[in-house]
Amino acid sequence: MEEAEIIRRVGELRQEHRDLDAEIDALAFDATTDQLQMARLKKRKLKLKDQITALEDQLIPDIIA
């Protein structure tokens, strides 16, 4: 992927991560929240964070020591 594509994709993933965070926060205050659904959302959020980190690592040039 080119740098511009990586930056665009990171932006999309960050937005999805924020959206999931808001959804998780909203469900946390609902007494009837399905705990399995909450766990799935949190797992998805962690996967997004891992994807973001992996893409950001591609933007950092390797330093040869």
In this structure, is residue 12 part of a structural domain? yes
Residue 65 pLDDT? 61
In this structure, is residue 64 part of a structural domain? no
In this prediction the pTM is: 0.85
Tokens of 27: 């469900």
- Number of Cβ within 10 Å of residue 13's Cβ equals 20
- Residue indicated by tokens 């990171």: 10
The number of distinct structural domains making up the chain is: 1
Owning domain of residue 46: 3-59
- Three-state DSSP class for residue 43: helix
Q: What is the mean pLDDT of residues 33-54?
A: 95
Q: What is the mean pLDDT of residues 53-61?
A: 92
In this structure, is residue 38 part of a structural domain? yes
From CA 44, how far away is CA 23, in angstroms rounded?
Answer: 12
- Contacts of residue 21, Cβ cutoff 8 Å, sequence gap at least 6: 45
